[in-house]
Structure 1
Amino acid sequence: MSDTRFAPFETQLDEERALAVLREATSGADDGELFLERRRSEALVFDDGRVKNASYDAAEGFGLRAVRGEVSGYAHSTELTESALKRAAETARLAVGAGGGTMAPPPQGTNLRLYSDTDPMSDATFATKIDILKEIDAFARDLDKRVVQVSASMAASLQEVFILRPEGGLVSDIRPMARINVSVIVEENGRRESGSHGGGGRYGLAGLITPDTWQPAVREALRIALVNLRAEAAPAGQMDVVLGPGWPGVLLHEAVGHGLEGDFNRKKSSAFAGLMGQQVAAKGVTVLDDGTIPDRRGSITIDDEGTPSGKNVLIEDGILVGYMQDRQNARLMGVTPTGNGRRESFAHCPMPRMTNTYMMGGEADPASILADLKDGIYAVGFGGGQVDITNGKFVFNCTEAYRVKNGVVGAPVKGATLVGDGPTAMRQIRAIGNDMALDPGIGNCGKQGQWVPVGVGQPSLMIGGLTVGGSAT
């Protein structure tokens, strides 16, 4: 970005003095920066006919980092003064010691803008937002008499980031975010089930609070709840699984994406460590991490080190061709940063993180993929998942899944979990659909206690030999 002003901070922290302190802190270092952030956020929850929560939060602060080799010295503060900055510099300086490192070259600049800098919270008044949540509640209840509880939420935020480099470069990014979500609970014959749906991205609330947007979300949440209302106990055992397009890409995110982050591979703690250039997935499998998709939840114009985000190919036709890198790990591995250095806030050090991670589509018709499934599960929706980076083993809970026999989609099943390991699952992909889709904008990713917004996506896939955990045999 070309803006070189400390816009939100100029009355509290002088840029010229801040640069002098930063240079002193990073003298003899390999890298470092001063990261300044101001964030404002709002969240509203309308639950069971009343306002359950209405919150507004504002925070600002800085983080100063000095890097030498594998060591990072980091200090942060909410006090935006020169004295606080000097105290932080003394702390960060401890990582550098008396060494004579060579400062890494600065990030390349960019004039690309992937999203608006408009404050999404200003798109509607507080009263209007509450009225819309009430409308969502009433609409859901009117759709079906079995609806017994509705929860509707609306969230928006604006993050302003300024990154000052020791050589004097200053880059900035203004990042909007908005999201709306609907959950419903239905009851019939004493049985209760739930369903939820929502979405959002890096834009204002205006596009989310119109009936054309929220009514389909309500209908989808209700559809999922009614599907679960007639779900049978899930089978258990090893079987083939067909995954639907879009949000099921969260399995790819967990089972493969984390294992392709640079820090895990530099430390050789990833199941994919040392496999560059080798076949790690079935032919036809191409996986990308792309932070450059306009308005997407996981997109970033620049990462939190100032590197422009990229469209990075990780696996190409089954061959491992790249990792996601921040500046420190890229330097230590002798490669180029990929724009994946991300942090939750000024209180955190950056690390390699995903943006929008997805698998490219293939040529198979999704209907033919299902028709070829002889005995297995068709998984359309997922809840939480976990992965062990060292071996790639994952566990995922299905929120919407169906039993399939001889190519016929049967009854929905409840309580299904998918168990496997990423490297094996990638090699056992037997069919790739032509229906690649991205998720609706709901992803959050946790790593070492830090949370950042992300996107996922994939086409319909058939994966052979996954373990399905359930309650039926």
Structure 2
Amino acid sequence: MSQFDATKLFYSDTGLDPAATERQVAAALSGCDDGELYLQYVVSESFSFDDGRLKAASFDTQKGFGLRGVAGEMTAFAHATELSSAAIARAADTVRLVKDGHSGTMALAPMPTNARRYSDDNPLAGIDFSAKVALMQKIDAAARARDPRVVQVSASLLGSWSVVEILRGDGTRVRDIRPLVRLNVQIVTEKNGRRETGFHGLGGRTMYDRLFEDATWERAIDIALNQSLTNLDAVDAPAGEMTVVLGPGWPGVLLHEAVGHGLEGDFNRKGTSAFSGRIGERVAAPGVTVVDDGSLDQRRGSLTVDDEGTPTGRTVLIEDGILKGYMQDRLNARLMGVVATGNGRRESYAHAPMPRMTNTFMLGGNEDPGNILASVKKGIFAKSFGGGQVDITSGKFVFSCTEAYEIENGRLGRPLKGATLIGNGPDVLTRVKAIGNDLELDEGVGICGKAGQSVPAGVGQPTLLVEGLTVGGTAA
């Protein structure tokens, strides 16, 4: 979408005048330390195919604004679906409340960027409705033809296209146009009355084209089917403290939850994170380097600029085991006397921004993954994870494995069911004994939740050997 089209979308089509809106925002934020008007237009669609037929298809369009004023540690925020001078004026009345007794100087605007992390094109417009339904039908038929034990196939296709404009009190405007697509395949197989499920998903800030390539969706079927069939033969997982090998890629979700949230600026400014006040200290084993990088092209968690207009980049959080910094939005960076890192994110115009992860992952090491596995006499190999729970203050977590195997004398053994990993995030990082040279990022399905807001995110890691991790199992 061109700059002219974006102007038409938010102004010409709504009756708003750009210059008058600029004056309104400047007046509303006068005396604040920071703030912005966040305008958003988003179109989204989803297709759900189950039991051989299209179960649901939806299309949604949303347009609205959020006006935020920041004074000291306080934030006033108002939003509306109506784009008009009157609606902005009403929001300004709310924002002015935060300035009572406060006289601040508006922080400088973020530095501009010429980077383009993804295309402006709208993925929803490139392929017609019938082709999207046909893809779901092909996936269903191909999955059922793979194996007679397949009893249920579910597939879904999701896409969105979001246009945002961030207008600051000094008149600075930042625009970003964000595509996002995703394909999910879930397969249920049955043997001797036992049913198990397998899943694979992929996507990113691209067009639909890659998802429609035969090799892409055929591979998604293969992975989901293999996981489901593997779990049909799984035995009860043992319980106790043992050596665990974590596979590359998606298992990085454990790192995301157990460590990532604890490295966000707001928790550390308030002293509620297990990492608070520990900059410069050793918090992980030597060799452990964790980064957050929102500037990777076309990745699900990437952004050209965050939702405050700050360009994204690579933030080193832990380097060779030493805590180096936190992920920051503008508010917490200002209060902590550091630089914003491009991690101010919000779910939509109806939400205020906060420090959030983008793509968070551990860098690779020097060990051959095969040698790591061969070094384990007895333990568990965790290949994929499902849901989990984390306490930010303590760092304690519980994660369930959706695909796991026993390790016996350096070789993979029987698949396991009911395995859960239990531990403390900061403690786990100190127990890393080997880091593989096979860093992988997830394939584009991550959703991160915080304070009631959900945003797309990416994770990743190499193969890791962790000693002394508690495994909760179902074996007697």
Q: What is the TM-score of this pair, normalised by structure 1?
A: 0.99
Q: Deviations over 1:369-391 (max 9, x none)?
A: 11111221100000011210101
**Secondary structure class of the residue paired with 2:271:** coil
Residue 2 of structure 1: how far off its partner (Å): 10
Contact 1:433 1:460 survives alignment (8 Å): yes
**Secondary structure class of the residue paired with 2:133:** helix
1:410-429 aligned at under 5 Å gives the runs: 410-429=413-432
Q: Structure 1 CA distance, aligned partners of 2:369 and 2:350? A: 45
**Secondary structure class of the residue paired with 2:98:** coil
Q: Structure 1 CA distance, aligned partners of 2:344 and 2:46? A: 27
**Secondary structure class of the residue paired with 1:208:** helix
- Match of 2:71? 68
Among 319, 326, 351, the alignment partner of 2:322 is: 319
Q: Structure 1 CA distance, aligned partners of 2:445 and 2:380? A: 24
- Matched to 1:463, the amino acid is V
**Secondary structure class of the residue paired with 1:95:** helix
Residue 173 of structure 1: how far off its partner (Å): 0.3
1:15-30 aligned at under 5 Å gives the runs: 15-30=18-33
Q: Structure 2 CA distance, aligned partners of 1:180 and 1:340? A: 26
Q: Structure 1 CA distance, aligned partners of 2:180 and 2:454? A: 15
Among 151, 154, 160, the alignment partner of 2:154 is: 151
**Secondary structure class of the residue paired with 1:57:** strand
Contact 1:243 1:460 survives alignment (8 Å): yes
Residue 183 in structure 1 maps to residue 166 in structure 2: no
Residue 210 in structure 1 maps to residue 213 in structure 2: yes
1:49-448 aligned at under 5 Å gives the runs: 49-448=52-451
Contact 1:2 1:171 survives alignment (8 Å): no
Between 8-17 and 332-341, report the one with greater CA deviation.
Answer: 8-17
- Matched to 1:8, the amino acid is L
- Match of 1:8? 9
Residue 278 of structure 1: how far off its partner (Å): 0.4
Residue 132 of structure 1: how far off its partner (Å): 1.1
Contact 1:401 1:414 survives alignment (8 Å): yes
Q: Structure 2 CA distance, aligned partners of 1:246 and 1:7? A: 41
- With over 3 angstroms needed to count, the CA separation of the structure-2 counterparts of 1:22 and 1:315, relative to structure 1, is same
Q: Deviations over 1:126-180 (max 9, x none)?
A: 0111111001000000010100100011011001000001111101000000111
Following superposition, which runs of at least 4 residues in structure 1 exceed 4 angstroms of deviation?
Answer: 1-5
Q: Structure 2 CA distance, aligned partners of 1:26 and 1:123? A: 40
Q: Structure 1 CA distance, aligned partners of 2:400 and 2:427? A: 19
**Secondary structure class of the residue paired with 2:245:** strand
Contact 1:418 1:468 survives alignment (8 Å): yes
- Matched to 1:122, the amino acid is A
Residue 210 of structure 1: how far off its partner (Å): 1.7
Residue 7 of structure 1: how far off its partner (Å): 3.7
Residue 405 of structure 1: how far off its partner (Å): 2.0
CA RMSD of the aligned region, Å?
1.2
Q: Structure 2 CA distance, aligned partners of 1:174 and 1:347? A: 18
Structure 1 unaligned spans of 5+: none
Q: Structure 1 CA distance, aligned partners of 2:312 and 2:411? A: 43
**Secondary structure class of the residue paired with 2:7:** coil
Contact 1:73 1:96 survives alignment (8 Å): no
Contact 1:6 1:162 survives alignment (8 Å): no
Number of matched residues? 473
Q: Structure 2 CA distance, aligned partners of 1:113 and 1:226? A: 42
**Secondary structure class of the residue paired with 2:11:** coil
**Secondary structure class of the residue paired with 2:195:** strand
Between 113-122 and 323-332, report the one with greater CA deviation.
Answer: 113-122
Structure 2 unaligned spans of 5+: none
Contact 1:28 1:98 survives alignment (8 Å): no
Q: Structure 2 CA distance, aligned partners of 1:130 and 1:462? A: 43
Q: Structure 1 CA distance, aligned partners of 2:385 and 2:467? A: 18
Q: What is the TM-score of this pair, normalised by structure 2?
A: 0.98
**Secondary structure class of the residue paired with 1:259:** helix
Q: Structure 1 CA distance, aligned partners of 2:163 and 2:225? A: 37
Residue 3 of structure 1: how far off its partner (Å): 4.6
Q: Deviations over 1:158-205 (max 9, x none)?
A: 010000011111010000001111000001111110101120000011
Residue 98 of structure 1: how far off its partner (Å): 3.6
Residue 245 of structure 1: how far off its partner (Å): 0.2
